[in-house]
Amino acid sequence: MRRLTVLSPAKLNLVLDIMGKRPDGFHELRTIFERISLADQIILSRNKSSKITIHCAHPDVPRNTGNLAYKAAEMLSRDFSVPKGLDINIIKNIPVAAGLAGGSSNAAAVLSGLNRLWQLGLNNAQLVKYASGLGSDVTFFLYNTSYALGTGRGEQIKPLAIKTKLWHVLVTPRVKMYTKEVFARLKLNLTNKKDNVNILLPFLRNGDLMRLAGALSNDLEPAILSLRPDFYYLKRKLLDAGAVGVCFSGSGPSVYALATSQKHALSLRAKFDRRYTQVFVVSTL
Ligand code: C5P
């Protein structure tokens, strides 16, 4: 095989509970991931050079060794002594540094794609080990599941057998937010902490959208709003437009609304000004 195309979807966090700060500087999380239909495409092609080259038309995607997709390929090529000669073509649809884990998903797609292209014969547990060294959000994308519970740094994944299909409007302001910066602004208040994961799960399982809407939560919201207080109005606007619930994804700035159907999501999207934001209708994948 010379060439392989892999889909690289984004995620949303339906709940993001921060349990505390760890000695290694990371935060202990409990999160519910949802895989969504907004996706990049990654084309992996062998070539006769001895280099790994990243190609991407999007100006904010690093074309150098700092790209997680590059790091993923480099690790496998080193550990399995594969002659590098590889073009990684990223067709970017997922906004960059937006709380949607696009870069992490690209890295996971490269790991599983190269496992096939280079016929490495790695099992999922071995791929997960590589993924967790790359970033906290990478491992989720190696599980073929719509929803999962993430614990630890977010890298310990328990797939959830839930069939509910959700529709969302996803609004991403044209502003990048760096996870590290958002976490640095976090003021931990762990008294009377609610178990938001277990509050939400039964509503998600039963497709009870009204209660699900009320159970969406993200402990990073105060930190995101401390960087950009005006994003409060984005949430407000979505609710005023008729969303049943709204929440930030990951470390922001993406905000998503829960809609009752595709039609409802399309009508919400129509109310948004595209000059300052990117607006997508997405569903559970
Ligand atoms: O793992 P990842 O590279 O995505 O994390 C980026 C940054 O976000 C980390 O350097 C850390 O500052 C912060 N982070 C954290 N706790 C987590 C995940 C990320 O503090 N569970």
**Torsion angle of alpha carbons 163, 166, 171, 172, nearest 10°?**
0
Q: Give the tens place of pLDDT for each residue, 200-221.
A: 999 999 999 999 999 999 999 9
Cα–Cα distances (Å) from 51 to 12, 30, 126, 232, in that order, read 34, 39, 24, 45
> Pick from 145, 160, 175: which residue ends a domain?
160
Q: Give the tens place of pLDDT for each residue, 235-249.
A: 999 999 999 999 999
Q: Could you tell me the distance, in angstroms and rounded to a whole number, from the CA of residue 181 to the centre of ligand 1?
A: 9
192 and 51 share one domain: no
187 and 51 share one domain: no
> Pick from 138, 160, 182: which residue ends a domain?
160
Catalytic status, residue 11 = yes
Q: Could you tell me the distance, in angstroms and rounded to a whole number, from the CA of residue 138 to the centre of ligand 1?
A: 12
206 and 128 share one domain: no
Token readout for 133 is 């060294």
User: Hey, is 103 helix, strand or coil?
Assistant: helix
- Closest among 1, 58, 74, 31 to 179, alpha carbons compared: 31
Kindly give the number of the ligand 1 atom that is closest to the alpha carbon of 251: 8
List of the chain residues with pLDDT < 50: none
CATH code of the domain covering residue 103: 3.30.230.10
CATH code of the domain covering residue 187: 3.30.70.890
Residue owning the nearest CA to atom 14 of ligand 1? 26
Residue owning the nearest CA to atom 3 of ligand 1? 135
Kindly give the number of the ligand 1 atom that is closest to the alpha carbon of 27: 16
Q: Is the CB of 183 under 6 A from ligand 1?
A: yes
**pLDDT for residue 260:** 97
Residue owning the nearest CA to atom 10 of ligand 1? 180
41 and 142 share one domain: yes
150 and 240 share one domain: no
Q: Is the CB of 179 under 6 A from ligand 1?
A: yes
118 and 204 share one domain: no
Q: Is the CB of 26 under 6 A from ligand 1?
A: yes
**Contacts by residues 81-85 (CB-CB < 8 Å, ≥ 24 positions apart):** 82/118, 82/120, 83/50, 84/49, 84/50, 84/51, 84/52, 85/46, 85/47, 85/48, 85/49, 85/50, 85/51
Q: Is the CB of 30 under 6 A from ligand 1?
A: no
Catalytic status, residue 71 = no
102 and 54 share one domain: yes
Q: Could you tell me the distance, in angstroms and rounded to a whole number, from the CA of residue 135 to the centre of ligand 1?
A: 8
**pLDDT for residue 203:** 98
Q: Could you tell me the distance, in angstroms and rounded to a whole number, from the CA of residue 74 to the centre of ligand 1?
A: 22
Q: Is the CB of 136 under 6 A from ligand 1?
A: yes
Range of the domain at 130: 3-160
141 and 174 share one domain: no
From 136, 151, 177, 178, the mutation candidate for ligand 1 (largest count of ligand atoms within 8 A of CB) is 136
- Closest among 5, 251, 249, 8 to 108, alpha carbons compared: 8
**pLDDT for residue 56:** 98
> Pick from 127, 160, 193: which residue ends a domain?
160
Q: Is the CB of 186 under 6 A from ligand 1?
A: no
Residue owning the nearest CA to atom 12 of ligand 1? 180
182 and 271 share one domain: yes
**pLDDT for residue 191:** 65
124 and 23 share one domain: yes
**pLDDT for residue 193:** 83
Q: Could you tell me the distance, in angstroms and rounded to a whole number, from the CA of residue 54 to the centre of ligand 1?
A: 24
181 and 214 share one domain: yes
Q: Could you tell me the distance, in angstroms and rounded to a whole number, from the CA of residue 136 to the centre of ligand 1?
A: 7
Q: Is the CB of 29 under 6 A from ligand 1?
A: yes
236 and 119 share one domain: no
**pLDDT for residue 32:** 98
Q: Tell me how many domains the chain contains.
A: 2
